[in-house]
Amino acid sequence: MTQARVLDKAIIDTRPLHGGDLSEVALATLADGRRVVIKRGPLVDVEGRMLTALAEAGAPVPQVLEVAKVQLCLSYLEESTPTPTLWRQMGRALADLHRARGESYGWDEDYAFGAVRIDNARSDDWPAFWAERRLLSGVESLPGDVAQRIEALARRLPDLLPKRPDPALLHGDLWSGNLLFTADAAFLIDPACYVGDAEVDLAMLSLFGAPPAAFHDGYGPVPPGAEARRPIYQLWPALVHLRLFGAGYRGMVSRLLDAAGA
């Protein structure tokens, strides 16, 4: 970190924190003894506004202490090993978040994961949003056979996804690395918010491993047909990983296309 001051206090020590694949993240100790998290990157101001929106919806997130164009300062949360009680708490917190409603699908600002742009232009048609803003976004950069299968699946989405599911406030990048547990609480971190089908968050959370039963106990039941829709929703983060990190994720994309019947 090159910034010498934050919160009008001198930074006397920093150390890197995990989660810095797409931005620089560090734990900073200030001259007054406080410890804070500092994130630097081109869109951290957008992340700050997303965290504020989540907090206003009652979601447990780090406190935004200071935000500028390329630097975000957050409260520091000391991680601990999650217990079943905390997993249940996380499930309840996510269910509460998904009860926060928007008027249309999308978000007022676009976002990005590194070089992968996230188009959040608003829509009242959920299958069209998922096709145009997610699956087909950047399709020209995919291997030809994968692109053809994605395009074929996108054409079928009106028959596979609900036209207007409840417009839930989503975390938007909900994998296990973006869940943080302290000794007595569960938090959501590193959002990529937009309004959409709540099943999107649940699908991503099971893409790289499944949360324990206590989480599902806390979250509650999901709508009929969610299991069939899951691979369609998991394709978006899988495609992002393919574009960002290369051919090692091609097998995951192919398996999800198979599962989606594409």
Q: For the chain (length 262 residues), average pLDDT per consecutive 10? A: 73 83 85 94 94 98 92 96 98 98 96 94 98 97 96 98 97 96 97 98 96 98 97 98 95 98 90
65 with 92, same domain: the answer is no
88 with 218, same domain: the answer is yes
Torsion angle (degrees, nearest 10) of CA 246, 247, 252, 257: 100
131 with 237, same domain: the answer is yes
Are 38 and 26 contacting, i.e. CB atoms less than 8 angstroms apart? yes
State residue 1's pLDDT score.
44
Active-site positions read 173
Query: Whole domain around residue 165: which residue ranges?
Result: 84-259
- Rounded to whole angstroms, the Cα distance separating 172 from 32 reads 35
State residue 128's pLDDT score.
98
State residue 2's pLDDT score.
45
Are 121 and 133 contacting, i.e. CB atoms less than 8 angstroms apart? yes
193 with 229, same domain: the answer is yes
State residue 21's pLDDT score.
57
11 with 134, same domain: the answer is no
State residue 254's pLDDT score.
98
39 with 106, same domain: the answer is no
Tokens of 84: 């079943």
Domains contained in the chain, number: 2
Are 52 and 62 contacting, i.e. CB atoms less than 8 angstroms apart? no
- For the domain that residue 59 is a member of, what is the CATH number? 3.30.200.20
End position of a domain, from candidates 75, 92, 107: 75
22 with 130, same domain: the answer is no
pTM of the model: 0.94
110 with 159, same domain: the answer is yes
End position of a domain, from candidates 22, 40, 75: 75
The amino acid that residue 175 corresponds to is W
How many Cα atoms occupy the beta-carbon half-sphere of 208 within 13 Å? 12
186 with 234, same domain: the answer is yes
State residue 4's pLDDT score.
72
